[in-house]
Structure 1
Amino acid sequence: MEIFWFLPTHGDSRYLGTSHGGRAVSHHYLKQIAQAADELGFKGVLIPTGRSCEDSWVVASSLVNFTERLKFLIAIRPGVISPTVSARMAATLDRISDGRLLINVVSGGDPDEQHGDGNFLSHSERYAEADEFLKVWRGVAAGESVDFDGEYIKVKNAKTMYPPVQKPYPPLFFGGSSPEAVELAAQQIDVYLTWGEPLEAVREKIEAVKARAAAHGRKLKFGIRMHVIVRETSEQAWQAADELISHVTDDTIASAQKAFSRFDSEGQRRMSALHGGRRDKLTVAPNLWAGVGLVRGGAGTALVGNPEEVAERIREYAALGIDYFIFSGYPHLEEAYRVAELLFPLLPVEQQHAHGDINLTGPFGEMVANDIVPPPTSSKLTAIK
């Protein structure tokens, strides 16, 4: 099971929809989160993309030397950058990080943002452009010299002279729920991502992507992107969920939902449909809460509960074929520790530590009365395979 965390380059907070409890996006803070994820045993971090975020490539490049094992899932944007330049950037960062780069293909879902970046294509046209982009990108990244004369992409003798560490290139991740997105994933993507929908909806999506991939003679891996609110008791977890949106006003919800309505993303439509902008429709499946999506675009659901409940839900998604779990929680620094400490012992997670079996920090917990070593507790559980 590959468990990733999230770098909040668009801002972080203890409460959604308000500046109360908010934190600035500073390099020092992002470094703290990345180093915590690295030390705790998360396999990687997703860095978001868009005009509301710090640039994901610059952020990742600034953090690779402050981490040791952590992988960085970074976006490439067809229609915003050329496939040749993008492939060179990927090869360079993959070498600098010693093979710790993963690529998230983002075709865009907000027309207003797309227009600001100079891309005025329709939804279907963007996927056609992304298809051509990836054909060139994959060839160049794999060390080929590429000639391509498409409707949107035209290159001659496109290549890079310095290959990436990972062969043939860093793995390609991608998420999208429309028929065009499924077809693109089936033909060119390595890991298909979905947002956190109820089990049956995820099952249907995985089966559809598998069928299309099989038609092209390919097999994909699958991942899911969602938030986590885990506490030692279920009551505490649901209280934390309520507190997270305790400062969200009805006007804020209405403004956010109006903004989301302009998106032409099928995935965003499905996220918004789970709750319809209503506070009384937030529990959409067992331990699956849609409150984040009242004001946040993209991933809008969270697993909520005690460690055993949340771990059971995670295992149910894994049984559908999910390999990668990309989690986040507010605020991201503290919640990285909470998720690792409460959930990792209950899941088949390989926690890597820099110093192996040698504990250079001493016993777990604070010494009692300057003399007594705290005894081990039941929180150090054996992983359930």
Structure 2
Amino acid sequence: MADHNGYTHRPEPRFDWFIPIDGDGDRAGTLRAQRPPTFDYLTSVAKTAEDCGFYSMLIPTRFANGLFSEDAPLAETWTTATALAAVTSRIRFLVAVRPGFVALGLFAQMAAALHQISGGRLDINIVPGGIQNDFERVGEVSDHATRYERAEEFIQACRALWQDPQPVSYAGDFYRLQGAYCSPAPGDDAPRFYLGGASPRAIGLSSRQADVHLGWIEPLADTKQRIDDLREQFEVANRPLSLGLRTHLVIRDDEDEAWSAARSLIADAAPEVKAQRQTAIVGTPMVGQQAQAREAEDHRLARHLWNGLSEVRVNCGSALVGTPDQVADELLGYWHLGIDEFILSGFPHVEECHRTAEQLLPRLRDRIAAARS
């Protein structure tokens, strides 16, 4: 990858889509989804993304529904990823994983097996912090710092099982391996680790362990500051920095129509769902979640950046809103900052996957090609 002032040696941008394990529809924050997250429906999303040429799909992790009522149907992450890998052939899977909920040696074997079965199409998005109160639902009680320390050992030990000569030994405060084996062992083709977060602890962990640092979209100036902080930490660690960006999209042929569609997404949100989301945000130690939920008039953080989804959605609650040309121009600005992978989504995910592939990505690719020349 080139230095951040030049583009010649940067990789071709990658565009990913999203698997809506909470459910889907053109309304968010209702008690139940218009389209429940059945395997048939999620298969249609995955096959649409594959047919549209997307590189990978992010599958989030939850212990309760994070877009509709908490007791609404929810597709379990790992089972869903495994099943979708069996009905696709090319697209990759970026599977969100919380360290500490599956025994390390078993997880390493599960991931290695899925990686082999899928033809090497697995990457792992490590989620150390999680949603406030979500861990506690299932009996996990640990502080923020402990979760990051545990996540670092989790990555180190997985890499050892996947890439070091076997048998493997590893001695940490949270994980210990004594003559352990992992079969199949992926070797040099092991899944990559994506890490996110905006806190100093998260950035430090990324600088030591991330193959890709993944951030939620913020105003361009804020993103630039976070990337500057990341560059400094990665330089100290003497490691290459690869950047990804996660955002929702609301694209229409007319800008006013796009803003109307954005507002309509949360127009029917249930007060109970809004209250549940507030519980997950208020007092959270997660810097990224605080940034997503910042207050702004009409939820407009910038001319085309809207965080209305933060009223009803855990984690990434911001979207780029506008015409295909306007959104392409906005994303080009983030590419200029050094971001080479874009994880995109829109509601509903099947229709908006087609719209994004047909109307947005050709424009954005043309703009990136022009910037390179």
Q: Tell me what 1:34 maps to.
A: 46
Q: Tell me what 2:309 maps to.
A: 292
Instruction: Pick from 102, 108, 121 the counterpart of residue 123 of structure 2.
Output: 102
Task: Tell me whether 1:263 sits opposite 2:280 in the alignment.
Answer: no
- Whether the aligned pair in 1 keeps the contact of 2:161 and 2:185 (CA below 8 Å) is no
Task: Tell me whether 1:11 sits opposite 2:23 in the alignment.
Answer: yes
Task: Tell me whether 1:341 sits opposite 2:341 in the alignment.
Answer: no
Deviations 1:273-301 (A, max 9, x none): 254xxxx3411012101111111110010
Shift of 1:251: 6.2
Shift of 1:238: 0.9
Equivalents in 2 of 1:178, 1:131: separation in Å? 15
Q: Name whichever of 81-90 and 290-299 sits farther off.
A: 81-90
What letter matches 1:26 in structure 2?
Answer: T
Q: Name whichever of 323-332 and 62-71 sits farther off.
A: 62-71
Shift of 1:65: 2.8
With over 3 angstroms needed to count, the CA separation of the structure-2 counterparts of 1:234 and 1:384, relative to structure 1, is: farther
What letter matches 2:173 in structure 1?
Answer: E
Instruction: Pick from 179, 190, 193 the counterpart of residue 172 of structure 1.
Output: 193
Aligned pairs for 1:22-101 (under 5 A) are 22-52=34-64, 53-101=74-122
Task: Tell me whether 1:325 sits opposite 2:337 in the alignment.
Answer: no
> Can you give the 5+ residue segments of structure 1 that lack an aligned partner in the other structure?
350-380
Deviations 1:213-268 (A, max 9, x none): 11111012100111000111112111111211111256653442233225332211
The TM-score, its normalising length taken from structure 2, stands at 0.88
Q: Tell me what 1:241 maps to.
A: 262
With over 3 angstroms needed to count, the CA separation of the structure-2 counterparts of 1:132 and 1:252, relative to structure 1, is: closer
Shift of 1:383: 7.2
Instruction: Pick from 148, 169, 189 the counterpart of residue 170 of structure 2.
Output: 148
Instruction: Pick from 216, 224, 230 the counterpart of residue 209 of structure 1.
Output: 230
> Can you give the 5+ residue segments of structure 2 that lack an aligned partner in the other structure?
1-12, 65-73
Deviations 1:283-329 (A, max 9, x none): 10121011111111100100000011000001000000111110111
What letter matches 2:329 in structure 1?
Answer: E
RMSD (Å) for aligned C-alpha atoms = 2.1
Equivalents in 1 of 2:131, 2:271: separation in Å? 23
Deviations 1:5-38 (A, max 9, x none): 1010111121111147621111110110100000
With over 3 angstroms needed to count, the CA separation of the structure-2 counterparts of 1:177 and 1:63, relative to structure 1, is: same
Equivalents in 2 of 1:265, 1:58: separation in Å? 27
Q: Tell me what 2:328 maps to.
A: 311
Identity of aligned residues (%): 35
Task: Tell me whether 1:162 sits opposite 2:179 in the alignment.
Answer: no
With over 3 angstroms needed to count, the CA separation of the structure-2 counterparts of 1:218 and 1:5, relative to structure 1, is: same
- Whether the aligned pair in 1 keeps the contact of 2:131 and 2:315 (CA below 8 Å) is no
Equivalents in 2 of 1:343, 1:274: separation in Å? 28
Equivalents in 2 of 1:118, 1:243: separation in Å? 37
Aligned pairs for 1:101-140 (under 5 A) are 101-140=122-161
Shift of 1:161: 2.6
Equivalents in 1 of 2:271, 2:82: separation in Å? 39
**SS in structure 2 of the partner of residue 273 of structure 1:** coil
Deviations 1:342-370 (A, max 9, x none): 10220228xxxxxxxxxxxxxxxxxxxxx
Q: Name whichever of 142-151 and 92-101 sits farther off.
A: 142-151
- Whether the aligned pair in 1 keeps the contact of 2:280 and 2:314 (CA below 8 Å) is no
- Largest Rg, 1 or 2: 1
Equivalents in 1 of 2:273, 2:140: separation in Å? 29
- Whether the aligned pair in 2 keeps the contact of 1:143 and 1:161 (CA below 8 Å) is no
Q: Name whichever of 79-88 and 204-213 sits farther off.
A: 79-88
Equivalents in 1 of 2:306, 2:213: separation in Å? 23
What letter matches 1:27 in structure 2?
Answer: F
Q: Name whichever of 31-40 and 117-126 sits farther off.
A: 117-126
Give every structure 1 segment of 4 or more consecutive aligned residues whose post-TM-superposition deviation is greater than 4 Å: 249-252, 381-385
Equivalents in 1 of 2:190, 2:33: separation in Å? 41
Equivalents in 1 of 2:335, 2:272: separation in Å? 38
- Whether the aligned pair in 2 keeps the contact of 1:61 and 1:93 (CA below 8 Å) is yes
Q: Tell me what 1:372 maps to.
A: none
**SS in structure 2 of the partner of residue 23 of structure 1:** coil
Task: Tell me whether 1:199 sits opposite 2:220 in the alignment.
Answer: yes
With over 3 angstroms needed to count, the CA separation of the structure-2 counterparts of 1:382 and 1:309, relative to structure 1, is: same
